[in-house]
Chains A and B, each alone.
Chain A
């Protein structure tokens, strides 16, 4: 009667989510990231925080998890994903700073549970790359099992926004709609025009508020959002491949006094690693994914290592509901290609992406008072034999390999009988270009177009 167990499990699990029981993980090998490796050490999670780390901890009424022989690491953070949102690309305009994927969170996307099963506790749900300035993104905590979309928002995480360089915006707007930007030059002008407009918008409102003008300027959420970027309130995450364009955007940002930027993909980042480091730009890359379109041929699996060694805060991301399930393998590849240390490799999927999202004071390492986001592995997470056992978000067990049932769906259509896989995996097209009308990229749709 497995299905009875499922119902029982689901109800227990909700109880767990509501009444926060302390969790004491005993005798694990702690991969703390910031304080080395601690063997046979306990970690106590209480009220959603890491309460203490040490030997022979005890706590009354805590759920005790025996982690002897297991590895305990901070929950994995994915700085580039598109899971658990209903809309990715508002591809109708080259600049759509006002839209916000956090308005369309889908808590029932099974991809979130699968990410948890890969030890991932936080994903950065991003707008797609159809526009030079896309929409604002949302940092999600994988609190699988909650119903309200708002429950997944990582409260207080800084605002972020998607920018995009190169072929995608050129193809969608130039080629697809016969409007600017048609070229890489045109994309630069989209940024300059937008920032210049935002400066004037800010000035116009300042003039109105000081009484200099009586009539208020036309309100624009788009201009207001762009002005917030100029004011340093929003971190830019920019889809990018080519070195020349990356340098171009850094120049544009310098001209407008903007310094918070993380380049995404950055396949040619290795060519300009010192320049990125000097600017203070971050890089979030694939371990070894390229050649899915022309601008992504000049690539190397050493990218993450070269960037790291040059002092660029670097992370490895998934951009994909499949890849997000094994980011620990992706990080391990930097040991084969670049000989990064265990800690350097693990930082790529924990503390570094947390820095890029502006949440490193809260997550990304096992430290007392940080949030209780923890992944427990059988075998070292950088080993090919690694298997995630349990994933904990804010002190609540959201994935447990021993209670991983066949059917973990949250929502079920009572009128249609479909296997969970087909019902809730929204095709396998490239999510970065999700929602972009196919007429806009008649170029070999089978290619990956990140």
Chain B
């Protein structure tokens, strides 16, 4: 099947060979189709420069990934790519305090023989502060796409297994090869035990934290004196883990501590106070009734974006009328539901600056949840700050992101409606020098599965030139399609994919392409309109290419 030419396969093989030869051969990224320009012009859009500032209709120019000009009216530079955003709303891209997005799946290193469960190697114990999220980065991860779709252009990403999974990286969410936007490497930690190995319980995790901290402190000060004058001194011998905690001891690295249970919020703050750590709490749940305590403790908070789901309370009306105890419990439950929905508002009232962390949150519900918080007393301005300037401060990148200002990173989002006022969709995201367009509401809302039966032309824009052909699509049963791919350059070399079920007008399917002993998985994701379709084709690990096509004829 020649949806991708054999020349490209050969090119891929060369690429593989090149990759294998990494140390010897400088890599050239042939995947990258060069943009005609790296200047983008957004015309006539409602610009929400910063929280609390009234929006105005204006223009924005981003060049080489930086905001070059933002004003009520300026000319598009001659070389700019003009982006159609007429009368939509533009915000500085949202900043996510912590996620586990954009990372390769963590692989356990074989089976480690542990004779004494009380003394496992650090790796088994979940203590790997030396591991860097940047080293485990995977730009193709769908989790980054989800972050972008929710409006996040910046996220601090971290590995997630064990009590000290590693050091985080602050990245843009473009999926680009070099997404890191700040050198800061904060530690991520959580009260997570190592199962049958030490530390297994939260009390042992806390004890182990204190142990590691003090070891690092002693080792570091000894190492310093050794450096000054090693005469008569034994060599310092810190473990890999303790050495990786020096910056934490020096408060150069902030500890982002997961506290997704209310009691763990108290416990983490206790640990912070005991050891004198710089700490930001992440995935924080309902803490509305302890707002005064948090204010007094000057706690840095990144709330979970989740709000409780009212649909989960079901009321048995017969029982309600008859059973006093049931009625009482239900009443209290509803009071707690309300309190949880007022969580963010209560923090605002207590003058606590907070951001949001997407880890563990349902991103698809994010805007709805933000509106729920606003309905329950959170000011739109505070909500906006919580997604932009406050998290930027927590991450120490307020000079780079958080507001739309000349010189800051060109990380903006475009929504169809005012995001903090009414139900809005993120329609475009610009981050990492790249523009991402999201399918609009109307595209998704096209009702039941589209009828895609017919003959369609297709074209894949690959670095090896455009590959063309035809999709013969037939409906095999209701809502179930068979697609036959007929490439132009060898119409006999077809590929048949069965049981393709459109979701609305989204059609995706996969197959494995074999050529000259190579197999490459192909994933195609497209959106069908009446007479055309467009989407992307993922060619194994080599990259994604645009695919588009148009209807040639409907079936008779």
Contact = CB atoms under 8 A, between A and B. Distances in A.
Given A96-B204, A127-B203, 14 more contacts: A2-B327, A2-B328, A6-B332, A7-B332, A87-B204, A93-B118, A94-B118, A96-B118, A104-B263, A147-B290, A409-B332, A412-B333, A414-B313, A420-B329
Interface stretch (B98-106, B209-217, B375-383, B412-420): B209-217
A94 B198 CA distance: 11
Interface residues of B, number: 55
A86 B191 CA distance: 12
A383 interface: no
Interface stretch (A212-220, A283-291, A297-305, A393-401): A212-220
Nearest to B125: A92
Contact of B270 (A6, A103, A219): A103
B142 interface: no
Contacts of A209: none
B218 A216 contact: yes
A206 interface: no
7 contacts: A7-B335, A92-B204, A94-B118, A96-B198, A104-B202, A148-B266, A415-B337
Contacts of B312: 415-416
A177 B266 CA distance: 34
A407 B262 contact: no
Interface in A1-39: 2-3, 6-7
B234 A92 contact: no
Given A407-B325, A415-B308, A215 B118 contact: no
A218 B242 CA distance: 11
Interface of A: 2-3, 6-7, 86-87, 89-96, 98-101, 103-108, 127, 135, 147-150, 177, 179, 214-216, 218-222, 405-407, 409, 411-417, 419-420, 435, 437
A425 to B, nearest CB: 16
B196 interface: yes
Contacts of A413: 333, 336
A6 B204 contact: no
Chain B facing A: main interface SS: helix
B118 A92 contact: yes
B289 A214 contact: no
Contact of B313 (A108, A135, A214, A415): A415
Interface of B: 115-119, 196-204, 206-207, 210-211, 214-215, 217-218, 222, 225, 232-234, 236, 262-263, 266-267, 270, 289-290, 293, 308-309, 312-314, 324-325, 327-333, 335-337, 339-340
Contacts of A104: 201-203, 206, 263, 267
B387 to A, nearest CB: 24
A3 B326 CA distance: 10
- A103, A107, A215, A219, most chain B CB atoms within 10 A: A103
A219 B212 CA distance: 9
A90 to B, nearest CB: 4
B211 A412 contact: no
Given A214-B233, A417-B314, A103 B200 contact: no
A215 B263 contact: no
Contacts of A89: 201
Contacts of A419: 329
A432 to B, nearest CB: 15
A101 B115 CA distance: 26
B314 A100 contact: no
Contacts of A86: 202, 263
**Which A-B residue pairs are the 9 nearest by beta carbons?**
A93-B118, A3-B328, A414-B337, A87-B201, A92-B198, A415-B312, A3-B331, A98-B207, A99-B203
